[in-house]
Each structure stands twice: as structure tokens, then as C-alpha cells.
Chain A
Amino acid sequence: MTNKQPTKFTTIYQNHYNKVYRLCLGYVNGDETLAKDLAQDTFIKVWEHLEQFKQKSSIGTWIYRITVNTCLLFIRKNKKGSYSLPELQEDDTNVAEVEKTHQNRLQQMYACIQQLKETERIVILLVLEGLAQKEIADITGHSHQNIRVMVHRIKEKLTKCVTHGI
């Protein structure tokens, strides 16, 4: 276990927490408590293995690798998270209406992501985060070509699901 690089770890933690948290949030159907637990598990592993980081890839890619594997390990807990709609302020009706539509779409997105198989879910979450296909290939261990086909198929599936419902 590393104890020698506290500053380096703190910087990494501060810089990558939100990305990791959002990916975990997508994996557990928008359940904030479960996502926080998963993000914490991820950073415990990052902390324990930081000395093994070889700089063959960027630190971001390396952290995403640990994140997706930690998410997969979550399967053994057999818990299904549930998305809770945030409370809206009633002072501005128009803003509230727009926000409500946005939240409903998000809820639908989370539900659609949950319908996907494990690998598909991980791949699409990385796509939604805006990662390049080459980086996704590196994280998942698929070939670039394979990822390209896979991403195209999952994108279609997700768009159809969000637009027309489950």
C-alpha cells in the first residue's frame, strides 16, 4: 500500500473524483449513495496501486480502468440503484418546466442504460463522458475496430430507447 505519495494522490483525487463519480452514477441507475460508495472503492484501489502506475497510458485512462472494474465487481452485491428526481423550485414556472423536462429525460436515460448488458453499459458510459474510441479500446481491452462497431450499435440502441421509451 502506498503511503509515500500523499500529495500526488490528493491531486489525482481532486482532479478525477467528479468524472469517476458520474460514471459510477450511470452504472447504478443514478443512485447517489451507491455511486459515492463505488467512487470511494475506486479511489481506495487507486491509492493502493498508485505505485504500479507505469505511465503507459494517461492517468485518466488508468483510473477509468480501475473504475469500470470496480463497477463490475459491484455485481456481486446484487443491488439495483434507483434514480431520485431532485426537488425543483416553484418560483419560476418556465425555468421549472424546462428543468422538469431535463430531469425526465435524464431519468429515462438512466433507465435505458440499465437495460443494457454490462459491457454495453460500461462502453456507453465512457462514450457519454466524451472519451475517444481509442481510449475506450484501451480501457476495455477490445480492438479499436471492434469498439467502433460496438459504439455505433449501442448509440442506436440508446437513442431509440430514450426517444421511444423502453
Chain B
Amino acid sequence: MEFKDIQNTWQQQSGTLTTPPDFKPVQQKLQKLRKEQRITQLVLSITGIVMIVFFFYIAAYKFSGTFLGMSLIICVLVIRVFIEIRSRQKLRKMNILLSFEDFKAQLISYYENRKKLAFTTIPIMLILYNVGVLIMMYYFYQYLSRGFFYYVVISYIVSFVVLFYFIRKQVLKELQILKTLQES
């Protein structure tokens, strides 16, 4: 068989000549989605500002161990969410009009940054998060009943293991994507 035959088979595929689906609903849905995204961003920003103001309002002059523990946990979570949002924005804003090779290079650079994050920033954040939890555990131990304290400890360990499993799965998936891109 020659390549010409393969090309003919390819071009004579039945079923590939279809009437294009109506694009209007997609356009309308997309416009609605963009509007909703802007509203969500606004609501999230206002909530964030209110939370920060409230946080300082109630805790600014009452520095304590619980304050430190809670601060560490909340800060790590907020930074983690911020990193993910920024990352998604970067992916969405990639220049789709570049040539394939330039676009691939852009995508490789994105996944290399994600790799750096996964092996430097994220482990530090996980350590800080656990330090925050340990500080809180000290206070839980003092103020909670034994039964409830063990319940908190066990549920924390279980949720941390589950969380770690999903983070690891995501990192491995992204490393595989990076490898495929670099090899192609």
C-alpha cells in the first residue's frame, strides 16, 4: 500500500461531512458564563476584604497560640487557592494564535512552572499547614474532651491522607503531560 491510498481513504471518510451544529446557543452560553464569572470574582473579592477586615478587627490585639495556628492554616489555604486561580488564568490566557511549536514551548514552560510549584512551594505550604494544625491540636487537647479530641485527630489524619493522595495524583498527571510534550 502507498501513502496515496491512505490519503484517499482518509479523505473519503463517510460521516465526517456533517452539517455544522448551531453555534448560536454556544455563543449565548459563553456570554452568560463570562458575565457570571465577573460577578463571582466581585463577590469573592468583597468576601475576602470583609474577612480580612473582620480578622484584624477581632484578633489584632489578642495575639495568642490559637491566633497563630489559625492564621497559618487560613493563610496556607488562601495562598493555595490563589496559586490555583492564577495558574488557571495563565493557562486560559495562553496565546492560541502562535505557531504550533511556539505554543508547545509556551505550554512546556507552563508545566515546568507547575513542576517547580509542586516540588518547592507546595511542600513548604504543607509543612506550614501541619505546623498550624499541631498548634491548634495543643489547644484542642487542653480544652476539648478526650473523645472529641481523638475524633478531631483521626478525622484530620484521614482527610490529610486523602488530600495528599489527590495532590500526588494531580502532580503525577502533570509530570506525565510535561514528559509527553517534551518528547514530542
Contact = CB atoms under 8 A, between A and B. Distances in A.
A159 interface: yes
* Interface bin, chain A: 35 or more
A26 to B, nearest CB: 8
A44 B26 contact: yes
Interface residues of B, number: 42
A65 interface: yes
B107 interface: yes
Contacts of A138: 99
Q: Is the interface of A mostly helix, strand, loop or mixed?
A: helix
Interface in A97-114: 102, 105-106, 109
A70 B104 contact: no
A86 B18 CA distance: 15
A65 B180 contact: no
B180 A158 contact: no
A76 B15 contact: no
Contact of A21 (B9, B18, B99): B18
B96 A66 contact: yes
A142 B100 CA distance: 9
25 contacts: A1-B31, A14-B20, A18-B16, A18-B20, A40-B26, A43-B23, A49-B96, A49-B97, A73-B94, A73-B107, A102-B12, A109-B10, A117-B184, A118-B104, A119-B101, A119-B184, A128-B6, A128-B7, A130-B11, A140-B101, A141-B98, A141-B101, A142-B101, A158-B6, A159-B1
